[in-house]
């Protein structure tokens, strides 16, 4: 394992394929100045989210876990005219930073930041019975990942793409005996997706400036579940 090499390769990829964006650079700087943890994705990962949203032709996107709004900006920029992104953040301070950053990117009218525990705000969305989401990106507390996936399927439709971040984390999921709530939640998420009759999925390992990790990708193959 060579993290220095991974970072240098990431730098090369970004130099070749991801144009420098002063707005996104300012978003990272604003988040750091506000004391947010430096756990937002890399530029290459953000570009991947953007391309996946475009491939899915997403007009409605749901994000669970906003932090400073970095990934929300990448996703929102993939929306067509009239599109909408709803992002959920438990920490009011993080949500405030995200709203400033979304305004900086001129996306505040396309993105709604909802503050509160995600399981509560997801239930609110379910009760509202709005149009289904075309893409759901989950990057929040790992202990609740199984519940987030269930809600993503419930709020989606046949063809909805569900992305669950941080499912490898240096291989932590291999430890079946772990007492760590995040590890246990991640393992339960794998098991839920594997057994789910309406989800077709895989997981991909990644290396780069953010270390050794990976993401799970699931496609909703059946109809919407009953709430």
pLDDT, one tens digit per residue, over 10-19 is: 999 999 999 9
- Separation of alpha carbons 54 and 75, rounded Å: 9
- The pLDDT of residue 174 is 83
Write out the two tokens for 56.
């899915």
CATH superfamily of 3-220: Vaccinia Virus protein VP39 (3.40.50.150)
The alpha carbon of residue 35 and the mean position of all alpha carbons in its chain are separated, in whole angstroms, by 21
- The pLDDT of residue 225 is 41
- The pLDDT of residue 222 is 65
Tens-digit pLDDT profile for the chain (227 aa)?
A: 788 999 999 999 999 999 999 999 999 999 999 999 988 989 999 999 999 999 999 999 999 999 999 999 999 999 999 999 999 999 999 999 999 999 999 999 999 999 999 999 999 999 998 999 999 999 999 999 999 999 999 999 999 999 999 999 889 888 889 999 999 999 999 999 999 999 999 999 999 999 999 999 999 996 444 33
- The pLDDT of residue 227 is 35
- Burial-class residue 39 by CB neighbours within 10 Å (0-12, 13-18, 19+): middle
- Angle at 41 (CA atoms; ends 161, 62), nearest 5 degrees: 35
Residues sharing a CB contact under 8 Å with residue 40, sequence separation 6 or more, in sequence order: 28, 31, 67, 68, 70, 71
Domains in the chain: boundaries:
3-220
């Amino acid at each position: 394992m060579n993290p220095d090499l991974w970072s240098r390769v990431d730098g090369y990829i970004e130099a070749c394929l991801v144009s420098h964006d002063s707005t996104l650079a300012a978003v990272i700087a604003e988040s750091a100045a506000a004391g947010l943890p430096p756990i937002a994705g890399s530029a290459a990962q953000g570009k991947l989210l953007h391309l996946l949203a475009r491939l899915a032709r997403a007009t409605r996107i749901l994000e669970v876990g906003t932090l400073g709004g970095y990934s929300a900006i990448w996703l929102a920029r993939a929306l067509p005219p009239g599109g909408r992104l709803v992002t959920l953040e438990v920490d009011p301070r993080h949500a405030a930073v995200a709203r400033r950053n979304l305004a900086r990117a001129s996306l505040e009218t396309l993105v709604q930041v909802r503050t509160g525990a995600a399981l509560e705000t997801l239930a609110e969305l379910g009760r509202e019975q709005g149009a289904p989401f075309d893409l759901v990106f989950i990057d929040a507390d790992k202990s609740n990942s199984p519940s987030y996936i269930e809600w993503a399927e419930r709020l989606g439709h046949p063809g909805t793409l569900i992305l669950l971040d941080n499912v490898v984390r240096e291989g932590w999921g291999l430890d079946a005996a772990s007492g760590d709530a995040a590890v246990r939640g991640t393992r339960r998420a794998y098991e839920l997706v594997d057994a789910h009759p309406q989800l077709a999925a895989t997981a991909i390992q990644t290396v780069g400036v953010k270390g050794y990790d990976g993401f799970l990708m699931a496609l909703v193959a059946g109809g919407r579940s009953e709430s």
